[in-house]
Amino acid sequence: EAEVAQSPRYKITEKSQAVAFWCDPISGHATLYWYRQILGQGPELLVQFQDESVVDDSQLPKDRFSAERLKGVDSTLKIQPAELGDSAMYLCASTRTSETQYFGPGTRLLVL
Amino acid sequence: ILNVEQSPQSLHVQEGDSTNFTCSFPSSNFYALHWYRWETAKSPEALFVMTLNGDEKKKGRISATLNTKEGYSYLYIKGSQPEDSATYLCAWGSGYSTLTFGKGTMLLVSP
């Protein structure tokens, strides 16, 4: 069964450093999402792509976060510089339709 | 801000117990209601997508109901097993592919 791949699974960094997360969606899924889940909260949407275009990045802190999906397949989420409050689980999901979103295992980020 | 609320926050039951969780969501601009199961160190797994008022879905020992008019959904687990231990997330869809998640209900089933 096809799965959404994410790497790394865990990342520890110091504040003010740059970090990057990678996501490879299920083949054929045009829509890709990045979510952030802070401990004790539900996942919150950071950015949504339709193919290579950003559909919604209204909740993305654009002063330090950037996301790209250059060829409309895999995607990278970058944080520069990282802050202590960025410690969270970063989830990637993909879908072919407007219904079920399929999630990857996430990247757990700890900023020291 | 329109919130999705889940209760209880956590639940500890014994193997064989049946249990249920609640998800409440705004009744306006409803598109779909999703349930996910998220086991530790794994990917969130889609359980159900429900779109119609009165929908009932079932998958093995797990079932869900939907009331869009009053804005709630129930998830039931019959005869809980230790492998059911996970966080159960609901997500409210208010438009094409836009989901707002609740904080989840953490279930622990002891043998």
Q: Which residues of B touch A104 (CB under 8 A)?
A: 43
Rounded to a whole number of angstroms, the distance from the CA of B47 to the nearest CA of chain A is 9
Q: Enumerate residues 6+ apart whose C-beta is below 8 A from A28.
A: A96
Q: Are B9 and B106 in contact (CB under 8 A)?
A: yes
Mean predicted confidence (pLDDT) in A73-101: 93
Mean predicted confidence (pLDDT) in B65-82: 96
What was the pLDDT predicted at B96?
A: 64
The rounded mean pLDDT for chain A is: 94
Extended strands (E) in A44-98: 44-50, 53-56, 65-68, 75-79, 88-95
Q: What are phi and psi of B83, to 5 degrees?
A: -70, -10
As a whole number of angstroms, the distance between CA B4 and CA A112 comes to: 31
The CA-based angle B62-B65-B69, given to 5 degrees, is 165
Residue B98 at interface with chain A, using a CB cutoff of 8 Å = yes
The rounded mean pLDDT for chain B is: 93
Inter-chain CB proximity A48 and B43 less than 8 Å: no
Highest-confidence segment of A14-18, A97-101, B27-31, B94-98: A14-18
Mean predicted confidence (pLDDT) in B82-110: 92
Is the model's pLDDT at B1 over the cut of 80?
A: no
Inter-chain CB proximity A42 and B44 less than 8 Å: no
Mean predicted confidence (pLDDT) in A66-87: 95
Rounded to a whole number of angstroms, the distance from the CA of A11 to the nearest CA of chain B is 14
Is the model's pLDDT at B97 over the cut of 80?
A: no
What was the pLDDT predicted at B90?
A: 97
Best of B97, B101, B105 to mutate (most A CBs within 10 Å, chain A):
B97
Q: Enumerate residues 6+ apart whose C-beta is below 8 A from A55.
A: A31, A48, A49
Residue A28 at interface with chain B, using a CB cutoff of 8 Å = no
Residue A48 at interface with chain B, using a CB cutoff of 8 Å = yes
Question: Which residue among A31, A41, A102 sits closest to B46, beta carbon to beta carbon?
Answer: A102
Q: Which residues of B touch A35 (CB under 8 A)?
A: 101
Q: How confident is the model at residue B27 (pLDDT cuts 50, 70, 90)?
A: confident
Q: How confident is the model at residue A98 (pLDDT cuts 50, 70, 90)?
A: low
As a whole number of angstroms, the distance between CA B106 and CA B74 comes to: 15
Mean predicted confidence (pLDDT) in A31-47: 95
